[in-house]
Structure 1
Amino acid sequence: MSFSVDVLAKIAIDLQSDIGHPDRFARLITTLREVLGCDASALLRYEAHQFIPLAIDGLAKDVLGRRFTLAGHPRLEAIARAGDVVRFPADSALPDPYDGLIPGHESLKVHACLGLPLFAGQNLIGALTLDGMSADQFDSFSDEELRLIAALVSGALNNALLIARLESQNVLPVTSISYSEPAAQEIIGLSDRMLQLKKEIEIVAASDLNVLISGETGTGKELVAKAIHEGSPRAANPLVYLNCAALPESVAESELFGHVKGAFTGAISNRSGKFETADNGTLFLDEIGELSLALQAKLLRVLQYGDIQRVGDDRSLRVNVRVLAATNRDLREEVLTGRFRADLFHRLSVFPLSVPPLRERGDDVLLLAGYFCEQCRLRFSLSQVVLSPGARARLLAYGWPGNVRELEHAIHRAVVLARATRAGNEVVLEPHHFQLSDESGVADIKLAVLSEPQNLREATEAFQREAIARALAANQQTWSAAARALEMDVANLHRLAKRLGMKP
């Protein structure tokens, strides 16, 4: 096959037409699939040593949530390194990142595969992948023709990324290939609620306003705080985290404001508090609703006047700290009942943000599931972790009272179960791997412990996560009450939850 000038002109016009529209990437990939006649295609952005899907066609929805690290995907690494068209033979020994992810062909391996690296100057900005079920599907395209396509797509992608950066007023780094650590966990979601939240984060991040982040437990409020800090002029300075629920009343004031030597028994030296540590940066106060009224009054003074006093010290210290606070409580109701100061509430909620529960985010469930599947694949050194159509339907139908955190644990538990009952290095998650009712979660973990003794640590940790999550759910997400129910010291419970990844 040979592209005529008219066909190339149409491709160029379609790619550049209305490139600022929100669905620009989806339209771009649809045009390419029509012209090239492939069974599946993906447009990927390269950032922080990984490929991030921008648009897909012919692939499972959860692919949009997956993050493909170069180190974890040899074919994508080959595309990134090549600098030119890459054709993978049908019998290539390199695992295909999309095996099991083409609806209707879950049990078949992808046969024909092309990769086109996309550049802006000398910088890699993305890749276009084309897949077909027939081994000779792309033989009719010459390398010269595919290079023309890559050049057109590179220009369109570069322009679209520039527009996106201008819209967000946030210049994303464009880096060359290297192999340091990938980017930290990100906010994943394309639902209307999440797109609106991301827009609000971009707006408030550039300011210096205090922000109150509200949302149910497990929705990702700490990720919102991190995104605000990283998008702010304070990003080069520290983001300091403090969980107010984990503060015993006897040391809470010292944790916040510091103390001087001899201020109380055990104060053997001067110590800086979180406010001093966060000077010129950001202080994230998680579970702010758990602070005592006495500490609320002292926090209000800092927000009003910008100075603190260490415990046992008469002198004041000036600090320049932006405060982000998070809560799973209805603080307006707490104000009405007298459990939270109205003046502090108004100081904190200059720009309130609400993180939606997972049950209100539609297909974001699948994107997040794909993200966690890919994390588990890397963690357990598996060649493949995919969701069956039935599993996807089950995840979409469930209400997720524990939100994103519950979904993460459910995917992790399902992978452990699937590995215990299936030989080989490929895991397909089926509906029966997701026992999501209250009565079945512990049974799943017991089965994992019994079935997979070589992974006893992982199964034990999953059991502990389940027990803690249940105790929290039964006690209105109050850590102190959950600790009593579990017959644990609350400080030990916080430490265990942090080690298990249930808290930052």
Structure 2
Amino acid sequence: MTTSEWLRTLVPLVADLPQDIPEAERYRRLLHTLRTLFPCDAVALLRLEGDSLLPLATDGLSRDTLGRRFKVAEHPRLKALLDAPGPRRFAPDSPLPDPYDGLVDGLHGHLHVHDCMGCALQVEGKAWGVLTLDSLRPGSFSDAHLDVLQAFGSLASATVGAAMRINRLAQLAQSEHLRAESYRRAAGQPERPLLGHSPAFKRLLKDIDLVGASDLTVLVTGETGVGKELVAQALHARSPRADRPLVSLNCAALPETLVESELFGHVRGAFTGAVNDRRGKFELADGGTLFLDEVGELPLAVQAKLLRVLQSGQLQRLGSDREHHVDVRLIVATNRDLAAEVRAGRLRADIYHRLSVYPLPVPALRERGRDVLLLSGHFLEDNRSRLGLGGLRLDAAAQAALLAYDWPGNVRELEHLIGRSVLKALGRQQPRPRILTLTDLDLGLPQAQPAPIARPAPLPSAPSAMGLRQRVEAVERQLVQDTLERHAHNWASAARELQVDRANLVRLAKRLGLHHPK
């Protein structure tokens, strides 16, 4: 490539610097230009976060790469790039393992990366991350390419800096998240990021950003295993209380006789075995956030005391008449239909309305499309690191099986499946391979059944003389009624599910002869 061609290739990137371009698109253009300038099969942009490098954008690598975390201490090539004062090229016969072996997109078999080079990126005077370039052909890179990469690295750093300045609010939210993570690490809880690119997941993130900054009580709902606790952690991290404790309690994990003590504390002698005064979860969370999982399991007697705390912030420890005041933001979660629990008499109506100020449904994994591959990449990297493997990947049939499965156990089921499948695959390969590929046989998922022939839903019973308009209105009326019942007649939540404006839903209900709020 001549100097003039090289400059013409870079001009669009320079022109993009002052523009308000989405971060993902900015990085995509950066990597596209990189592949145009250099003879490579794959490129990646990774950000340094703690002791790991997180892929932000890739071109030429398998989709699950974006879900991985590359611990710097476990990947000597990445560490060498971070430590080097400038770009570095690795010889084709370098003994250092390449982190992308087996991850180059579209390959069949275990063809390893042969040529690799990259550079560290400095942004605002600090190490920000790395750019990596990989080729399957030995000798693709030369020392002359290092000079070009030196210049391109400066432009890449400017591109990242522009994205950081334009997205300063997003960076602030991230810093709050990191402060919240320090509390979880102090409590011995592993870091578990929220991962996903699907429309359903992006809507969830938007809701988290919206309500996280408030002090509203949030009711997180969803099937078992969707990650409701992770959502609660994200809500806390985005709140003004992020630098205060996040305290969790699983209401279903305790016998009924201990729930009150766990929530509100007790004094010495309150019951057999109470040898000392003890603060409850509400006092421990004072100034921060209390997360109550499986809140539908709370006994009715405890619900009355919980209501008092929510109304006034006042509580009494078990066995004491002394008042304690607490300032706590409450997040609760359940996989039950709380409106049905109210109708069955197992949940007080007043506590239900206090807990469901902002309902936040978490989508099931089957509703998140290709997010299953992103999450699989994250779990694969966890297992690769834990088992000391050089590489861990999914073949095409395994990816197809993951996409076709219904996931009744959601993300938790996927995590357990990946861990189990890795061990099964290791057991059938002797000697132990450097790069392990999981097949659909290792996953052991049931074969997808052919989709049934779609038939129109039966219309509500009606006189045979009913015309088309009346039949359409009957279907609309039934749909609105069913949706309102699922959301306990919360019109805002029902409107979100039906993807209409709340005011429009009210007008539609009025036209259909349904009860609507005044």
> Residues of 1 paired with 2:72 and 2:66: CA distance?
17
Report the counterpart of residue 220 of structure 1 in structure 2: 227
Equivalent of 1:338, from 330, 338, 345?
A: 345
Superposed CA offset, 1:335-381 (max 9, x none): 23322222222212222211111111111100110100000011111
3-state SS in 2 of match to 1:113? strand
Equivalent of 1:432, from 422, 441, 444?
A: 441
Report the counterpart of residue 129 of structure 1 in structure 2: 132
Aligned ranges for residues 144-223 of structure 1 at < 5 Å? 144-167=147-170, 169-170=172-173, 172=175, 184-223=191-230
Question: Counterpart amino acid of 2:367?
Answer: E
Report the counterpart of residue 36 of structure 1 in structure 2: 38
3-state SS in 1 of match to 2:73? coil
> Residues of 2 paired with 1:142 and 1:38: CA distance?
11
1:46 paired with 2:36, answer: no
Report the counterpart of residue 67 of structure 2 in structure 1: 65
1:31 CA displacement? 2.9
Bigger radius of gyration, 1 or 2? 2
Equivalent of 2:420, from 413, 417, 425?
A: 413
1:277 paired with 2:284, answer: yes
Segments of 5+ residues of structure 1 without an aligned counterpart are 439-504
1:136 CA displacement? 2.2
1:325 paired with 2:328, answer: no
Question: Counterpart amino acid of 1:427?
Answer: L
Report the counterpart of residue 463 of structure 1 in structure 2: none
> Residues of 1 paired with 2:104 and 2:399: CA distance?
13
1:374 paired with 2:376, answer: no
> Residues of 2 paired with 1:32 and 1:230: CA distance?
35
3-state SS in 2 of match to 1:172? helix
8 Å Cα contact 2:249/2:293 also seen in 1: yes
3-state SS in 2 of match to 1:142? helix
> Residues of 2 paired with 1:120 and 1:405: CA distance?
37
> Residues of 2 paired with 1:377 and 1:206: CA distance?
36
> Residues of 2 paired with 1:172 and 1:28: CA distance?
25
Segments of 4+ moved more than 6 angstroms: 180-183
1:387 CA displacement? 0.9
1:108 paired with 2:111, answer: yes
Report the counterpart of residue 461 of structure 1 in structure 2: none
> Residues of 1 paired with 2:190 and 2:254: CA distance?
30
Report the counterpart of residue 471 of structure 2 in structure 1: none
Question: Counterpart amino acid of 2:412?
Answer: R
1:153 CA displacement? 0.9
Superposed CA offset, 1:93-131 (max 9, x none): 111111111123242111111112111133111211111
Task: Describe the shift of the 1:11–1:401 C-alpha distance in structure 2 as closer, same or farther (beyond 3 A).
Answer: same
Task: Describe the shift of the 1:345–1:174 C-alpha distance in structure 2 as closer, same or farther (beyond 3 A).
Answer: closer
Task: Describe the shift of the 1:22–1:8 C-alpha distance in structure 2 as closer, same or farther (beyond 3 A).
Answer: closer
Report the counterpart of residue 89 of structure 2 in structure 1: 87
Aligned ranges for residues 226-265 of structure 1 at < 5 Å? 226-265=233-272
Superposed CA offset, 1:297-319 (max 9, x none): 21111000101111111121101
1:395 CA displacement? 0.8
8 Å Cα contact 1:165/1:171 also seen in 2: no
Provide the TM-score with structure 1 as the length reference.
0.81
1:75 CA displacement? 1.1
> Residues of 2 paired with 1:139 and 1:2: CA distance?
16
> Residues of 2 paired with 1:188 and 1:392: CA distance?
17
Question: Counterpart amino acid of 1:428?
Answer: T
8 Å Cα contact 1:218/1:405 also seen in 2: yes
> Residues of 2 paired with 1:252 and 1:281: CA distance?
20
Task: Describe the shift of the 1:13–1:112 C-alpha distance in structure 2 as closer, same or farther (beyond 3 A).
Answer: farther
Superposed CA offset, 1:4-43 (max 9, x none): 3333323423566543365332233223223334211111
Equivalent of 1:120, from 94, 119, 123?
A: 123
Task: Describe the shift of the 1:132–1:119 C-alpha distance in structure 2 as closer, same or farther (beyond 3 A).
Answer: same
1:236 CA displacement? 2.0
Report the counterpart of residue 13 of structure 1 in structure 2: 15
Question: Counterpart amino acid of 2:210?
Answer: I
Equivalent of 2:141, from 119, 138, 142?
A: 138
8 Å Cα contact 2:17/2:162 also seen in 1: no
Task: Describe the shift of the 1:15–1:159 C-alpha distance in structure 2 as closer, same or farther (beyond 3 A).
Answer: closer
RMSD across aligned positions (CA)? 2.3
3-state SS in 2 of match to 1:297? helix
Segments of 5+ residues of structure 2 without an aligned counterpart are 179-184, 448-518
Report the counterpart of residue 356 of structure 2 in structure 1: 349
8 Å Cα contact 2:177/2:234 also seen in 1: no
1:80 CA displacement? 1.3
> Residues of 1 paired with 2:405 and 2:201: CA distance?
19
Deviates more, 1:99-108 or 1:242-251: 99-108
1:163 CA displacement? 2.7
Superposed CA offset, 1:40-82 (max 9, x none): 1111111122111111111110001011110121111111111
Report the counterpart of residue 495 of structure 2 in structure 1: none
Q: State the percentage of identical aligned residues.
A: 51
> Residues of 2 paired with 1:135 and 1:15: CA distance?
34
8 Å Cα contact 2:401/2:445 also seen in 1: no
Report the counterpart of residue 287 of structure 1 in structure 2: 294
> Residues of 2 paired with 1:98 and 1:112: CA distance?
11
3-state SS in 2 of match to 1:417? helix
1:157 CA displacement? 1.3
1:240 CA displacement? 0.9
State how many pairs are aligned: 434
Question: Counterpart amino acid of 1:351?
Answer: Y
Superposed CA offset, 1:420-445 (max 9, x none): 1112243111110012349xxxxxxx
> Residues of 1 paired with 2:23 and 2:339: CA distance?
38
Report the counterpart of residue 488 of structure 1 in structure 2: none
3-state SS in 1 of match to 2:141? coil
Task: Describe the shift of the 1:171–1:367 C-alpha distance in structure 2 as closer, same or farther (beyond 3 A).
Answer: closer
Task: Describe the shift of the 1:392–1:402 C-alpha distance in structure 2 as closer, same or farther (beyond 3 A).
Answer: same
Deviates more, 1:293-302 or 1:132-141: 132-141
> Residues of 1 paired with 2:299 and 2:147: CA distance?
69
